[in-house]
Chains A and B, each alone.
Chain A
Amino acid sequence: MYAQMIKTAGTGVKPREEMTPEEAAFQDRIDADIKIEPKDWMPDEYRATLVRQIGQHAHSEIVGQLPEGNWITRAPTLERKAILLAKVQDEAGHGLYLYCAAETLGVSRDELTEDLLSGRMKYSSIFNYPTLNWADIGAVGWLVDGAAIMNQVPLQRTSYGPYSRAMIRICKEESFHQRQGYDIMMKMAQGTEAQKKMAQDALNRFWYPSLMMFGPSDKESVHSAQSMAWKIKIDSNDELRQRFVDQTVPQAEYLGLTVPDDKLKWNEERGHYDFSEPDWTEFFNVLKGKGPCNTERMNGRKRAWEDGAWVRDGLMAHAQKRAARKVAAE
Chain B
Amino acid sequence: MKNEWPLWEVFIRGQHGLSHRHVGSLHAPDAEMAVKNARDVYTRRNEGVSIWVVEARHITATNPGDKGPMFEPSESKIYRHPTFFDIPDDVGAM
Listed in ascending order, the chain A residues whose CB lies under 8 Å from chain B are 37, 39-41, 86, 89-90, 93, 96-97, 100, 103, 108-110, 165-166, 169, 173, 312-313, 315-316, 318-319, 322-323
Q: A93-B40, A103-B25, A315-B29 are in contact. List 4 more A-B contacts (CB 8 A).
A: A40-B64, A93-B44, A312-B3, A315-B30
Find chain A residues with CB under 8 A from B30 CB.
Answer: 315, 318-319, 322-323
Contact status of A110 and B2, CB under 8 A, knowing A97-B24, A315-B29, A319-B30:
yes
**A24 to B61, alpha carbons, bound, how many Å?**
26
Q: In this assembly, does B54 line the interface, its C-beta being within 8 Å of a C-beta of chain A?
A: no
- Contact present for B41 and A109 (CB under 8 Å): no
- Contact present for A313 and B3 (CB under 8 Å): yes
Find chain B residues with CB under 8 A from A165 CB.
Answer: 24
Find chain B residues with CB under 8 A from A37 CB.
Answer: 64
**A245 to B90, alpha carbons, bound, how many Å?**
64
Q: B45 contacts which of A109, A173, A318 (Cβ < 8 Å)?
A: A173
Listed in ascending order, the chain B residues whose CB lies under 8 Å from chain A are 1-5, 7, 24-27, 29-30, 33, 40-41, 44-45, 61, 63-64
18 contacts between A and B (CB under 8 A): A39-B63, A39-B64, A40-B64, A93-B41, A96-B41, A100-B25, A108-B1, A109-B27, A110-B2, A110-B4, A169-B24, A173-B45, A312-B3, A312-B5, A315-B30, A316-B29, A318-B29, A322-B30
- Contact present for A89 and B2 (CB under 8 Å): no
Q: Which 7 residue pairs are nearest across A and B when measured between Cβ atoms?
A: A319-B30, A315-B29, A319-B29, A100-B25, A316-B29, A39-B64, A40-B64
**A168 to B61, alpha carbons, bound, how many Å?**
24
**A173 to B43, alpha carbons, bound, how many Å?**
12
**Chain B interface main SS type:** loop
**A267 to B24, alpha carbons, bound, how many Å?**
45
B54 → chain A closest CB, angstroms:
15
Find chain B residues with CB under 8 A from A93 CB.
Answer: 40-41, 44
Which residue in chain A gives the minimum CB-CB distance to B22?
A165
**A51 to B18, alpha carbons, bound, how many Å?**
34
Find chain A residues with CB under 8 A from B25 CB.
Answer: 100, 103
**A184 to B14, alpha carbons, bound, how many Å?**
32
Find chain B residues with CB under 8 A from A39 CB.
Answer: 61, 63-64
Contact status of A316 and B5, CB under 8 A, knowing A40-B64, A90-B44, A96-B41:
yes
A89 → chain B closest CB, angstroms:
7
B57 → chain A closest CB, angstroms:
13
Which residue in chain A gives the minimum CB-CB distance to B63?
A39
Find chain A residues with CB under 8 A from B3 CB.
Answer: 312-313, 316
**A319 to B3, alpha carbons, bound, how many Å?**
12
B29 → chain A closest CB, angstroms:
4
- Contact present for B24 and A100 (CB under 8 Å): yes
Which residue, A37, A89, A173, A315, has most C-beta atoms of chain B within 10 A? A315
Find chain B residues with CB under 8 A from A86 CB.
Answer: 44
A18 → chain B closest CB, angstroms:
24
Contact status of A108 and B4, CB under 8 A, knowing A96-B26, A100-B25, A322-B30:
yes
**A37 to B61, alpha carbons, bound, how many Å?**
13
**A89 to B43, alpha carbons, bound, how many Å?**
12
**A108 to B27, alpha carbons, bound, how many Å?**
11
A311 → chain B closest CB, angstroms:
10
- Contact present for B24 and A109 (CB under 8 Å): no
Find chain B residues with CB under 8 A from A323 CB.
Answer: 30
Find chain B residues with CB under 8 A from A312 CB.
Answer: 3, 5, 29
B53 → chain A closest CB, angstroms:
13
